[in-house]
């Protein structure tokens, strides 16, 4: 599981990419916990999207556990980004 | 597995914040110039737009990088210029002065944020900020979007709420937005731009993620998403463009109008198109892709490099030049053609590398020059004088090290000129001059030097007053004969000042001496030319670079010297017969021209046997042509200047030293200073005797007149 905390942005993107690749390599699926994330920037959204895509291609599960902060939901809406299926935390 | 990210990585954020601070300082310098130009041309809408965009950039980027105080404070000023832009407010000197005061506070806030406020630097003053905001509100009237000095919005506040209210025309805009590869790295988050855009009206966004690569290939600091946006707003096209002001160089952007709900203006009515179709021509201009900008950017991409790294790079190149000279010497001794060939190739590459590294250090003087607009503006106000500053040759380039140290001397010269040189308007009118004075700051190339002039059309130097003062101060004897140029040069003496009243501007009696010392420390010279009632021109002659020079290597006995090639004209032989023909005088007849010379053997007291045939290296100096007699001219020599250190700092005729291929030390001579040293020695030995004829002063076109050697 990858937990995102607080405001997560470009400074964390490289670390998140590594975490997602590690998760994919282990072939156990990707679970992203955003319950305590307050805001995400575009680098994080596109990494999550790429992670979801890679998991799908590999036949693995990809899920986001929430609740998702209102600010993040609003940002995704405003940017026309497809929402991730959120499971209970 | 559990990974967590608690906010942005600290060092990354610091890096972006630092980049913002550096860019903001540059924007502020340009903004200051823009404001001062606006003061002269209050109706120039282009300048208004430029000022507004600069403020918008500082505010928006400031908010993005956590400089909330900067963003909130700048917001007030931005609003004022938004009002000007929309024709609801006129530029006045009051608004310009308030804006300049606000800029000082913003600079101080940025400086404070680094935690490196040095002595003498301004500290942001919250009371002054509040006063500026209050005064701005008085000038602009209450604005709906003015947060006064309160906290900044999380995202850059949109500037055009007022525009929207007043426009009354609703249109649907189709906007294509594709961030470029460096947009994120430059600190712009596209999502914040979308948020700002959303504040202009109703926004519908469609994200296109087709270009996002597989995660393994994905560069996490690059945005691959493109957006197709539909915005319904009554805000004008300009307001939409403003949202992308600090991103448009880093993205592809298209803004096309789909429908026009009401007449928006003459320029748009003809282009109002059928609903649902993208109008290619709106507001009188084609819908343009900002791809052109992206192409431009690709061609002109640049990176910021810390100056310390640049200095280190140049030092290393300097060392390489020295090693290459050694290699060349060894190769020639060994006479192995392969080694000689490699040595020549290394020499060629080293020379190219040296040229390249030098060019990296070269910077236009514009940045330094532009700063003085503000100084002149403030001093003119304080001294109640009308002064127009004109800048010429701002594109002239100088070594960064020289430029860095140029600010203080120029500031002092300008202060002196404004305080002592330029008369009050009444005095000027009485003297038949226009009330407004002109102060000219110019730069131009002169061989391997740059000439920087500070020229005013003021009262000029009162030579009689200078002479009296010099006698009073014991600088000269009462009966000594001096040329006008020599009298003018007295103002460069330590502690000299004719100003009887010490003012806050200048007149403390140390200024010109300090200026001279600073300029000489840069291996430069200072020259004063003045004509009473007409004006004064102070000329700084500065070397293009302090690091490496092209020189001519010469030998006298066992000593080696380097003379700057830029000064060298030709080498001729000096025989004992020539000396006899001149009756022992140090004058050579060069194709009919009588050229004085200095025998380095005598000047440096080198005790070795004089060869039958000597060489004279003829050089162009400040005082005219002069010869330097040496035993042998060895040839060109690329010279890395090594400082001789504090111990030799008073030996002014030596610019530095260099290490030759075989490890021998050679002293780099400053021909002008050698001549001055000889002149000084002769004056002390025989008062009134002149090595050169007195220089002829000229005003206007240049600092100095020609030197008529044949009149010696």
Q: Where are the domains of chain B?
A: 10-140, 161-299, 307-363, 365-543, 548-711
Residue A65, chain B, CB below 8 Å: the answer is no
CA distance B309 to chain A (A): 24
Longest dimension (CA), chain B: 100
Give the closest residue to B420 by CA, choosing from B371, B388, B383: B383
Residue A12, chain B, CB below 8 Å: the answer is yes
Best of B158, B218, B226, B243 to disrupt the A interface (most A CBs within 10 Å) is B218
Residue B1, chain A, CB below 8 Å: the answer is yes
Q: Which ranges of B509-659 would DSSP assign to H, the alpha helix?
A: 511-521, 576-581, 600-603
User: Is residue A8 classed as helix, strand or coil in its secondary structure?
Assistant: strand
On whether the CB atoms of residues B160 and B82 are closer than 8 A, the answer is yes
CA dihedral in degrees (B215, B218, B219, B222; nearest 10)? -110
On whether the CB atoms of residues B506 and B412 are closer than 8 A, the answer is yes
CA distance B587 to B180: 68
Burial B320-350 (b: 16+ CB within 10 A, else e): bbbebbebbbebeeeeeeeeeeebeebbeeb
B213 contact residues in A (CB cutoff 8 A): 50
The token duo for A13 is 């993107």
Residue B384, chain A, CB below 8 Å: the answer is no
- B450: buried, middle or exposed (CB in 10 Å: 19+, 13-18, 0-12)? buried
- By C-alpha distance, the chain B residue nearest A53 is B214
Q: Which of B207, B212, B221 sits opposite A13 (nearest CB)?
A: B221
CA distance B58 to chain A (A): 21
DSSP 8-state assignment for residue B148? T
B365-543: which CATH number, 3.30.565.10, 1.10.10.350, 3.30.1310.10, 3.10.520.10? 3.30.565.10
CA distance B220 to A44: 8
Pairing of strands A2-8, B665-669: unpaired
Residue B210, chain A, CB below 8 Å: the answer is no
User: Strand order in B3-6's β-sheet?
Assistant: A86-87, A62-65, A30-40, A2-8, B3-6
Give the list of residues 6+ apart from residue B432 with CB closer than 8 angstroms, or none.
none
CA distance A58 to chain B (A): 12
Cross-chain Cβ contact A24/B213 below 8 Å: no
Q: Which of B8, B194, B213 sits opposite A79 (nearest CB)?
A: B194
Q: How far is CA A72 from CA A66, A77, B157, in A?
A: 11, 9, 19
Question: Would you mind telling me the total number of residues written for chain A in this entry?
Answer: 89
Cross-chain Cβ contact A42/B190 below 8 Å: yes
CA distance B294 to B415: 44
CA distance B679 to B655: 18
CA distance B379 to chain A (A): 46
Cross-chain Cβ contact A47/B224 below 8 Å: no
pLDDT value of residue B417: 92
CA distance B216 to chain A (A): 7
Residue A3, chain B, CB below 8 Å: the answer is yes
Residue A87, chain B, CB below 8 Å: the answer is no
ipTM exceeding the 0.90 mark: yes
A65 contact residues in B (CB cutoff 8 A): none
CA distance B261 to B273: 10
CA distance A85 to chain B (A): 18
A43 contact residues in B (CB cutoff 8 A): 184, 220-221, 223
User: Is residue B422 classed as helix, strand or coil in its secondary structure?
Assistant: coil
Residue A31, chain B, CB below 8 Å: the answer is no
Give the closest residue to B395 by CA, choosing from B359, B442, B350: B442
User: Strand order in B202-208's β-sheet?
Assistant: B202-208, B226-233, B171-179, B251-260
Give the closest residue to B323 by CA, choosing from B668, B664, B661: B661
Residue B191, chain A, CB below 8 Å: the answer is yes
The token duo for B148 is 């006064």
CATH class for the domain made up of A2-87: alpha beta
CA distance B183 to chain A (A): 11
How many contacts, defined by CB atoms under 8 Å, are there between A and B? 125
Residue with tokens 């680098």: A43
Cross-chain Cβ contact B205/A4 below 8 Å: no
Q: What are phi and psi of B59, to 5 degrees?
A: -65, -50
Give the list of residues 6+ apart from residue B646 with CB closer than 8 angstroms, or none.
none
Cross-chain Cβ contact A14/B184 below 8 Å: no
Pairing of strands B548-556, B559-564: antiparallel
Best of A11, A29, A48, A81 to disrupt the B interface (most B CBs within 10 Å) is A11
CA distance B668 to B638: 11
B198 contact residues in A (CB cutoff 8 A): 78
Q: Three-state SS string across B102-144, please?
A: HHHHHHHHHHHHHCCCCCCCCCCCHHHHHHHHHHHHHHHCCCC
| Superfamily, domain B10-140 | HPT domain (1.20.120.160)
Mean pLDDT by 10 residues, chain B (712 residues): 43 69 84 88 86 84 79 87 84 90 89 66 76 85 47 38 48 88 80 87 88 90 90 83 78 78 37 32 30 35 74 83 83 86 91 83 87 89 91 89 86 90 93 94 82 94 88 84 84 66 44 81 86 93 75 90 82 82 81 87 85 87 85 81 65 76 81 81 55 35 26 22
Give the list of residues 6+ apart from residue B417 with CB closer than 8 angstroms, or none.
B439, B454, B456, B458, B536, B538
Residue B195, chain A, CB below 8 Å: the answer is yes
On whether the CB atoms of residues B293 and B249 are closer than 8 A, the answer is yes
Q: What are phi and psi of B643, to 5 degrees?
A: -65, 140
DSSP 8-state assignment for residue B89? S
| Superfamily, domain B548-711 | SH3 Domains (2.30.30.40)
CA B396 to chain centre: 9
End-to-end CA distance of chain A: 11
CA distance B217 to B214: 6
On whether the CB atoms of residues A44 and A12 are closer than 8 A, the answer is yes
On whether the CB atoms of residues B407 and B454 are closer than 8 A, the answer is no
The token duo for B31 is 């903004």
Prior bond of B327 cis (ω within 30°): no
Question: Would you mind telling me the total number of residues written for chain B in this entry?
Answer: 712
Burial B248-285 (b: 16+ CB within 10 A, else e): bbbbbbbbbbbbbeeebeeebeebbbeeeeebeebbee
User: Is residue B31 classed as helix, strand or coil in its secondary structure?
Assistant: helix
User: In degrees, to the nearest 5, what angle opens at C-alpha B45 toward C-alphas B283 and B78?
Assistant: 100
A13 contact residues in B (CB cutoff 8 A): 220-221
- All structural domains of chain A with their residue ranges: 2-87
């Amino acid at each position: 599981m990858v937990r995102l905390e607080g405001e997560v942005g470009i400074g964390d993107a490289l670390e998140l990419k590594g975490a997602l690749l590690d998760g994919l390599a282990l072939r156990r699926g990707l679970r992203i916990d955003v319950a305590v994330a307050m805001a995400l920037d575009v680098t994080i959204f596109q990494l999550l999207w790429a992670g979801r895509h890679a998991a799908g291609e590999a036949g693995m599960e990809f899920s986001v556990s929430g609740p998702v902060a209102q600010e993040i939901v609003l940002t995704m809406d405003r940017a026309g980004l497809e929402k991730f299926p959120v499971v209970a935390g | 597995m559990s990974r967590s990210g608690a906010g942005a990585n600290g060092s990354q954020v610091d890096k972006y914040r630092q980049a913002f601070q550096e860019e903001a300082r540059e924007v502020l310098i340009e903004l200051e110039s823009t404001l001062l130009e606006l003061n002269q041309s209050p109706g120039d809408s282009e300048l208004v737009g430029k000022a507004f965009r600069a403020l918008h950039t500082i505010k928006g980027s400031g908010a993005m990088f956590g400089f909330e105080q900067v963003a909130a404070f700048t917001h007030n000023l931005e609003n004022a210029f938004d009002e000007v832009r929309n024709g609801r407010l006129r530029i006045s000197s009051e608004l310009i002065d308030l804006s300049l005061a606000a800029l000082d506070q913003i600079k101080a806030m940025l400086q404070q944020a680094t935690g490196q406020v040095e002595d003498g630097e301004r500290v942001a003053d919250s009371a002054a900020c509040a006063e500026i905001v209050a005064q701005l509100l008085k000038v602009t009237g209450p604005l709906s979007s003015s947060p006064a000095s309160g906290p900044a919005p999380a995202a850059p506040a949109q500037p055009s709420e007022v525009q929207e209210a007043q426009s009354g025309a609703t249109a649907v805009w189709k906007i294509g937005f594709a961030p470029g590869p460096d947009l994120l790295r430059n600190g712009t988050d596209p999502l914040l731009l979308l948020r700002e855009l959303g504040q202009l009206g109703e926004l519908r966004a469609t994200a296109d993620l087709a270009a996002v690569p597989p995660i393994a290939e994905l560069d996490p600091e690059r945005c691959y998403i493109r957006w197709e946006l539909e915005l319904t707003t009554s805000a004008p096209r300009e307001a939409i463009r403003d949202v992308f002001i600090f991103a448009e160089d880093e993205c592809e952007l298209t803004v096309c109008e789909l429908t026009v709900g009401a007449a928006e203006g003459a320029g748009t009515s003809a282009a109002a198109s059928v609903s649902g179709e993208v109008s290619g021509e709106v507001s009188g201009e084609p819908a343009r892709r900002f791809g052109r900008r992206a192409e431009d950017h690709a061609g002109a991409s640049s990176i910021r490099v810390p100056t310390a790294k640049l200095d280190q790079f140049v030092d290393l190149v300097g060392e390489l030049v020295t090693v290459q000279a050694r290699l060349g010497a060894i190769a020639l001794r060994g006479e192995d053609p392969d080694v000689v060939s490699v040595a020549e190739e290394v020499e060629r590459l080293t020379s190219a590398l040296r040229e390249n590294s030098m060019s990296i250090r070269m910077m236009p003087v514009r940045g330094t020059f532009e700063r003085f607009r503000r100084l002149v503006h403030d001093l003119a106000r304080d001294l109640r004088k009308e002064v127009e500053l004109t800048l010429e040759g701002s594109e002239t380039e100088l070594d960064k090290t020289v430029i860095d140290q140029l600010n203080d001397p120029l500031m002092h010269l300008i202060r002196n000129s404004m305080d002592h040189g330029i008369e009050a308007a009444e005095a000027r009118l009485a003297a038949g001059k226009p009330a407004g004075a002109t102060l000219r700051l110019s730069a131009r190339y002169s061989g391997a030097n740059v000439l920087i002039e500070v020229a005013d059309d003021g009262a000029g130097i009162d030579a009689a007053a200078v002479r009296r003062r010099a006698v009073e101060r014991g600088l000269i004897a009462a009966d000594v004969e001096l040329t006008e140029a020599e009298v003018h040069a007295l103002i460069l003496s330590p502690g000299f000042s004719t100003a009887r009243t010490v003012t806050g501007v200048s007149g403390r009696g140390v200024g010109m001496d300090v200026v001279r010392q600073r300029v000489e420390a840069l291996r430069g010279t200072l020259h004063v030319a003045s004509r009473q009632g007409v004006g004064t021109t102070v000329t700084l002659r500065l070397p293009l670079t302090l690091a490496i020079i092209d020189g001519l290597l010469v030998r006298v006995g066992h000593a080696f010297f380097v003379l700057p090639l830029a000064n060298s004209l030709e080498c001729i032989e000096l025989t004992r017969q020539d000396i006899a023909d001149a009756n022992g005088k140090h004058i050579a007849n060069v194709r009919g021209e009588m050229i004085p010379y200095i025998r380095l053997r005598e000047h440096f007291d080198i005790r070795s046997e004089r060869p039958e045939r000597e060489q004279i290296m003829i050089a162009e100096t400040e005082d005219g042509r002069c010869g330097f007699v040496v035993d042998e001219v060895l040839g060109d020599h690329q010279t890395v200047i090594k400082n001789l250190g504090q111990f030799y700092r008073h030996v002014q005729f030596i610019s530095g030293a260099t290490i030759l291929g075989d490890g021998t030390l050679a002293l780099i001579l400053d021909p002008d200073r050698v001549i001055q040293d000889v002149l000084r020695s002769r004056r002390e030995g025989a008062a009134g005797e002149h090595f050169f004829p007195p220089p002829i002063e000229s005003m206007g076109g240049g600092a100095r007149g020609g030197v008529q050697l044949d009149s010696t």
